[in-house]
Structure 1
Amino acid sequence: MYAIIKCGGKQYKVSEGDILDIDYTGKAAKETLEITDVLAVNNGELVTGDAVSKATVQAEVVLDGTGVNRDKKVIIYKKRRRKDSKLKRGFRKSFTKIRITKIAA
């Protein structure tokens, strides 16, 4: 059984026991998270639309990805040729690592 969920503007295909990184939610470790934005559920056959409007996905927060635990650094480098103009910046994105515990369809 798997479900397709929408979280933070992105879509994820998840099943029970999966661990994934989503956008930062502000939840601490060991808290539960309920995702109600379920797009599709497959339990033998794929069900979409109004049939999954009441489906939910339960998840447990494994790691709060802030501070030292942020994601890998992304480098942004801009250069304009023949202008002696360069700009190098980088940032580390905060995330929340979750484990899917239950898919209720």
Structure 2
Amino acid sequence: MYAIVKAGGRQEKVTVGEIITVDRIDAAAGASVSFPALLVVDGANVTTDVAALSAVKVTGEVIDAVKGPKIDILRYKNKTGHRRRQGFRAQHTRVKITAISGAK
């Protein structure tokens, strides 16, 4: 059984026991979080009905907060000596999926 959930502006395919990395969630390590399900596949049964999916709960446990890879932003204009350097590192949260409940 697996589910497609909406997490941090993206869709993630999750199964029970899987660890996923999503955009930062403001929750402490060990806290429980839930994600809205967009699709549930249980063997040959595929659930896409909005009314049926409203009863489905995908829950997970926050493991820790991590940082993504560093992105270097370099801007350069020739003949003027103009150079600008900027860096960015995204904040992520690792979540372990504990249950997909309510699926028929």
Is 1:46 the counterpart of 2:46 in the alignment? yes
Q: TM-score, normalised by structure 2?
A: 0.86
Q: Within 5 Å, which residues of 2 pair with 1:4-83?
A: 4-35=4-35, 37-44=36-43, 45-50=45-50, 51-65=52-66, 70-83=67-80
In 1, the alpha carbon distance for the partners of 2:64 and 2:84 equals 33
Amino acid aligned to 2:100? I
Provide runs of 4+ in structure 1 moved above 4 Å. none
Distance 2:86 2:3 in 1: 37
How far 1:76 moved relative to its partner? 1.2
The structure with the largest strand share of the pair is: 2
The one-letter code matched in structure 1 to 2:19 is I
Q: Which runs of 5+ in 1 are unaligned?
A: none
Identity %: 34
Q: Which moved more, 1:90-99 or 1:77-86?
A: 77-86
- The RMSD of aligned alpha carbons is 1.4
The unaligned stretches of length 5 or more in structure 2 are none
Give 1:27's aligned amino acid: A
